[in-house]
């Protein structure tokens, strides 16, 4: 996974009316905010699991803006408002200034604010304004959290 626009093989695009939803599976922590907020659009029991035509672009954008990991983003084609989940805002660097790292009880490190995750040799793994980093050591997508801490009962 790299910078905005440089999405890896775990990424998929779902086109709707005036909006395209982008999903990067490698960033998803399965918080299910999308499913709770817009179940007609996001349904993990259906394939494909995203139906970007099932709601208005404004509703979809608001749902994607609430994605805690940044795994969901969108591109508006209808001229509608662009929030934090917008690929245009991210590409332009229009994210809040400052970085906050929060240790989530029994969960990941939450990095909020414009940040890059890089390897020791300088290879960029992720860039954006929301990152969830594994603390339990069990993620299959290290250093990113994949939600495994819930299954293994991590209490750190």
Domains held by the chain: number: 2
Which domain CATH number covers 37? Answer: 3.30.70.20
My answer on whether 63 and 113 are in the same domain is no
The pLDDT tens digits for 1-55 are 333 344 455 789 999 999 999 999 988 988 899 999 999 999 999 999 999 999 9
My answer on whether 55 and 123 are in the same domain is no
For the entire predicted model, the pTM comes to: 0.64
Residue 103 CA to residue 152 CA, distance in Å, equals 18
Residue 105 CA to residue 67 CA, distance in Å, equals 19
Residue 41 CA to residue 66 CA, distance in Å, equals 14
pLDDT value, residue 93:
59
Q: Would you call 33 helix, strand, or coil by DSSP?
A: helix
My answer on whether 27 and 87 are in the same domain is yes
My answer on whether 119 and 137 are in the same domain is yes
For residues 82, 4, 74, 95, the Cα torsion angle rounded to the nearest 10 degrees is: -30
The pLDDT tens digits for 99-108 are 889 999 999 9
Distance of CA 7 to the CA centre of its chain: 12
pLDDT value, residue 99:
85
First to last CA, the chain: 27
The domain of 135 spans: 100-152
pLDDT value, residue 35:
97
Residue 57 CA to residue 79 CA, distance in Å, equals 10
Which domain CATH number covers 144? Answer: 3.40.5
My answer on whether 25 and 64 are in the same domain is yes
Where b means 16+ CB within 10 Å and e means fewer, 28-43 reads bbeeebbbebbeebbb
């Amino acid at each position: 996974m790299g910078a905005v626009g440089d999405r890896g093989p775990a990424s998929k695009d779902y086109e709707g009316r005036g909006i395209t939803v982008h999903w990067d599976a490698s960033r998803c922590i399965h918080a299910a905010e999308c499913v709770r907020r817009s179940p007609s659009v996001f349904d993990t029991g259906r394939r494909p699991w995203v139906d970007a035509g099932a709601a208005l672009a404004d509703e979809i954008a608001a749902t994607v803006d609430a994605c805690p990991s940044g795994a969901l983003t969108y591109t508006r084609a209808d001229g509608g408002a662009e929030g934090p989940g917008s690929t245009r805002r991210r590409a332009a660097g229009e994210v809040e200034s400052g970085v906050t790292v929060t240790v989530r009880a029994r969960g990941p490190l939450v990095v909020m604010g414009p940040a890059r995750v890089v390897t020791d040799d300088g290879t960029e793994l992720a860039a954006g304004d929301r990152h969830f980093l594994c603390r339990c050591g069990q993620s299959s997508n290290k250093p990113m959290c994949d939600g495994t801490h819930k299954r293994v009962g991590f209490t750190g």
